[in-house]
Amino acid sequence: MEKATGSETDPCAKRMKKEKDADPTAGHSHSFSVKFPSDPKEYTIDCVQLGTVLRAIKTCHKYDEKFSDENLVIQLGKKDKKHAIATHFPCTCIREDVCLILSHEKENIEETQGQNEEPIQSKEMYSVFSIETVGGENTRTKPFIRSNAFNRFKYLCVYGEKGREITVEEALRRDGRFIDDLGNFTLSDNKDPIKSTGCTQPVDNLHGKEFKLCLEKAQLKRNKKIVREEVKQRITVIQKTMENNKVSVKDLVEDRVRAENRSEGKSAKSGSSVDVEEIYDLLRKQCAGLKELMMNRFPGDSYQKALNLREEDFGKIRQSFSDVHRVRELIKLGESVCLIVTPFQTGTGFVLFDNLILTNAHLFKDCVEEGNKKLKDGTEVNVLFNFEEQYKNYHFFKLAHRNILYCHDDLDYAILQLDPVGKKDNPETEKKVPPGLLKRFGPMPKNGEACLIGHPDGGVKQLDPTSIIEIENREKIVKDHLGTAFIVHKINDPENQGIESILVGGNREKGTTYNTFMYHGSSGSPVFDAQCKVFGLHTSGYGYNPETSKGVIEFAQPLLTIFEDFVRKLREHGKEKLLRRVEEEAKGNSDLKKILNPDKILNPDSDESMDTD
């Protein structure tokens, strides 16, 4: 077996990332194995010199020289694709007899500039922590990892030297696998998501911990504002140019192509892959079709009438939800609304009764054991109430057990059972679960006002008054959103989004639709009517594209249908004691009594567990 003996004798030294020479007499000695692509064998690496993992790997004669170091992906352990390490990871931090699985990508996946040039030290001198490849708050529209090659892993292992005041930001920048412009960010502790570590904090106390990377919402808003201003300025310039008849659409296209050719060093007449005549012809055809579409949709003065009608509808909504007594009642009922934090995403839920929480099942799609209605071992789920100010005065609960009532079909609901007593942000203060909303359940109104209460983007609790979109108007509303005036939008991957399911004849036709800003993170929010009865479970939305949270139309499941399915499952599995408790809570609610069938004689209780398997 070849051994690394220094830059003078190591033939691979010229291609190694820069690192200062280490003292080979420091008594370092351990071994691990490595597996190369398309080779079933594992090769032992006897590491006798302090250095990076890449230096140690290159001592093996099987290392493939035709790939650059920047293309190399290193998997830590062979049982699962849980952790990936950087090529400059200290070899001393690799456990004895661990196997490293190597693979190569076509793209550069790791930035080498600015990486560690200090001598590798013993493992006690490092703080090694893990960052999930699935981000936390505000990372949905901004990828924070340089290459998609790491999407198959759950964590990226990051390290920093202790006692040298290495900050989280410096460790991630040096790592090379994260993008450069992360801006201000925090790390949310997976075991206690309420605790966050700022990017300017030292890494010394992060050893062995697992985190989600969260971006600041304010930073995203600033970026979006800049983009909007740039777009407005460009549109204004084009409009003025067109109005003054100084240039045609064709001229604008040709000028744009010439400018791009100049930036690429091409001539104005040759070397271009753009057919200006073809573009102009397409634009001309689209403009004719768009004009015909608008004329058919809004004949005569009907467009202005439609605008007036929308203004009138908005006035009704504002009037209905501006009565002080109604707002006060909604705020009181909103105490039962909670923020749900899973290892993979955040959502919203609300108290059904006692310590049972109703929310959407899709929040737990990566948390539930396959073929079972139990959360995977080690899955931490936190439920936060009164989260109305950022990290102030909230109280949180953990689940009583891993069993959940999990319905992953079209109804898409889940019921969780909490510990009856939770903690406030002050750990010494205990709180009880707020009152439930089951007594307030009502039928789905066909039209009129609605109001959602939830936690969009996993943030503080918000309230959004809106108006119900009738079944017969849904298709028109969708078309109006996708083609408004002269701006034409497209739904991202409409077949996968399933927007046709909410239209007439779809399998979700009986749900409620509306428009709301409560998009990502609001799944599981209760939807109230003008009488403050809760009738819907906010479930999904259909957006223009992945880069925006702006929706075309949003959808809620009817709560009475969910309740009917819940009662049926309890009866099928003999949960008689829980059924009697449901019956007690339903007293005075005629809609629930019809579903419960109070004339049915219930047998003595057998089990009150939430496990329906």
For residue 261, pLDDT beyond 70? no
Residues 508 and 441 in one domain: yes
Element (H, E) at 592: helix 590-596
Q: Which of 170, 199, 215 is the last residue of a domain?
A: 215
What confidence tier does 517 reach under pLDDT thresholds 50, 70, 90?
confident
**384-443 tens-digit pLDDT:** 998 887 667 788 888 888 888 877 677 889 999 998 776 665 555 678 899 999 999 999
pLDDT of residue 4: 38
pLDDT over 90, % of the chain: 28
Residues 55 and 198 in one domain: yes
Q: Amino acid identity, residue 150?
A: F
pLDDT of residue 447: 85
pLDDT of residue 20: 42
pLDDT of residue 257: 58
In angstroms, rounded to a whole number, what is the distance separating the alpha carbons of residues 193 and 137?
11
User: What is the separation, in whole angstroms, between the first and last Cα of the chain?
Assistant: 55
pLDDT of residue 111: 79
Residues 292 and 439 in one domain: no
For residue 606, pLDDT beyond 50? no
Distance of CA 357 to the CA centre of its chain: 21
In angstroms, rounded to a whole number, what is the distance separating the alpha carbons of residues 313 and 466?
10
Q: Is residue 41 one of the residues assigned to a domain?
A: yes
Segment 559-571 shows an average pLDDT of 92
Q: Is residue 608 one of the residues assigned to a domain?
A: no
What confidence tier does 12 reach under pLDDT thresholds 50, 70, 90?
very low
Residues 278 and 162 in one domain: no
Residues 476 and 353 in one domain: yes
Higher pLDDT, 487 or 468: 468
For residue 67, pLDDT beyond 80? no
* Contacts for 408 with CB less than 8 Å, ≥ 6 apart: 361, 362, 365
Segment 157-183 shows an average pLDDT of 91
pTM: 0.50
Q: Is residue 572 one of the residues assigned to a domain?
A: no
Lowest mean pLDDT among 167-176, 201-210, 234-243, 380-389: 234-243
Which of 257, 294, 287, 289 lies closest to 272 in space, CA to CA?
A: 257
Segment 270-297 shows an average pLDDT of 58
For residue 33, pLDDT beyond 70? yes
Which of 345, 370, 371 lies closest to 360 in space, CA to CA?
A: 345
What confidence tier does 286 reach under pLDDT thresholds 50, 70, 90?
low
Residues 384 and 506 in one domain: yes
Counting Cβ atoms within 10 Å, is residue 300 exposed (0-12), middle (13-18) or buried (19+)? Answer: exposed
Residues 410 and 386 in one domain: yes
Residues 185 and 268 in one domain: no
| CA dist list (Å): 249 to 241, 263, 284, 414, 489 | 10, 21, 9, 54, 20
**Sheet containing 196-198: which strands, arranged edge to edge?**
43-47, 30-35, 99-104, 72-76, 83-85, 155-161, 126-132, 210-215, 185-189, 196-198
**125-152 tens-digit pLDDT:** 999 999 999 888 888 777 899 888 888 8
Q: Is residue 567 one of the residues assigned to a domain?
A: no
For residue 25, pLDDT beyond 90? no
For residue 85, pLDDT beyond 90? yes
**99-121 tens-digit pLDDT:** 999 888 877 888 765 555 678 88
pLDDT of residue 380: 86
What confidence tier does 11 reach under pLDDT thresholds 50, 70, 90?
very low
For residue 491, pLDDT beyond 50? no
What confidence tier does 186 reach under pLDDT thresholds 50, 70, 90?
very high
Contact in structure between 158 and 131 (CB atoms under 8 Å): yes
Higher pLDDT, 284 or 60: 60
Phi-psi category of 109—alpha, beta or left, where left has phi over 0 and alpha has psi -120 to 50? alpha
pLDDT over 70, % of the chain: 64
DSSP assignment string, 432-482: EPPPPSGGGB-PPPSSSEEEEEE-GGG-S-EEEEEEEEPGGGHHHHHHHHH
For residue 53 the two structure tokens come to 């993992």
Q: Is residue 232 one of the residues assigned to a domain?
A: yes
Element (H, E) at 156: strand 155-161
Q: Amino acid identity, residue 336?
A: S
pLDDT of residue 431: 81
Element (H, E) at 100: strand 99-104
**40-55 tens-digit pLDDT:** 889 999 888 888 999 9
Question: How many other CB atoms sit within 10 Å of the CB of residue 246?
Answer: 9
Which DSSP category does 192 fall into? Answer: S
Could you give the residue ranges of the DSSP H alpha helices within 321-358? 324-333
* Contacts for 149 with CB less than 8 Å, ≥ 6 apart: 73, 105, 107, 109
In angstroms, rounded to a whole number, what is the distance separating the alpha carbons of residues 89 and 157?
9
Higher pLDDT, 445 or 78: 445
For residue 73, pLDDT beyond 60? yes
For residue 17, pLDDT beyond 50? no
What confidence tier does 277 reach under pLDDT thresholds 50, 70, 90?
low
In angstroms, rounded to a whole number, what is the distance separating the alpha carbons of residues 296 and 305?
15
Which DSSP category does 582 fall into? Answer: H
pLDDT of residue 400: 87
Q: Is residue 130 one of the residues assigned to a domain?
A: yes
Q: Give the length of the chain.
A: 613
Q: How high is the mean pLDDT of the chain?
A: 75
Q: Amino acid identity, residue 471?
A: I
CATH code, 371: 2.40.10.120
- Per the structure, the count of domains in the chain is 4
Q: Is residue 341 one of the residues assigned to a domain?
A: yes
CATH code, 159: 3.10.20.90
In angstroms, rounded to a whole number, what is the distance separating the alpha carbons of residues 130 and 152?
15
CA quadruple 514, 515, 520, 524: dihedral, nearest 10: -30
HSE of 503, CA atoms in CB hemisphere, 13 A: 12
Angle between helix 576-585 and 559-572 (nearest 10): 150
Residues 274 and 240 in one domain: no
For residue 549, pLDDT beyond 80? no
**332-387 tens-digit pLDDT:** 999 999 999 888 888 999 999 999 999 999 888 888 887 667 888 888 888 999 88
In angstroms, rounded to a whole number, what is the distance separating the alpha carbons of residues 500 and 41?
51
pLDDT of residue 78: 77
Question: How many other CB atoms sit within 10 Å of the CB of residue 517?
Answer: 14
DSSP assignment string, 219-271: HHHHHHHHHHHHHHHHHHHHHHHHHTTSS-HHHHHHHHHHHHHHHTT--SSSS
Distance of CA 594 to the CA centre of its chain: 39
**300-328 tens-digit pLDDT:** 665 555 555 555 444 444 445 567 888 88
Question: How many other CB atoms sit within 10 Å of the CB of residue 297?
Answer: 14
| CA dist list (Å): 385 to 357, 420, 500, 527, 596 | 12, 13, 35, 18, 30
Residues 232 and 252 in one domain: no
What confidence tier does 202 reach under pLDDT thresholds 50, 70, 90?
very high
Higher pLDDT, 601 or 196: 196
Host domain of residue 426: 324-560
What confidence tier does 583 reach under pLDDT thresholds 50, 70, 90?
very high
pLDDT of residue 110: 86
Residues 127 and 205 in one domain: yes
For residue 203 the two structure tokens come to 């890494």
Q: Which of 560, 579, 602 is the last residue of a domain?
A: 560
Q: Is residue 581 one of the residues assigned to a domain?
A: no
Element (H, E) at 309: helix 302-320
pLDDT of residue 3: 38
Residues 254 and 346 in one domain: no
Contact in structure between 363 and 413 (CB atoms under 8 Å): no
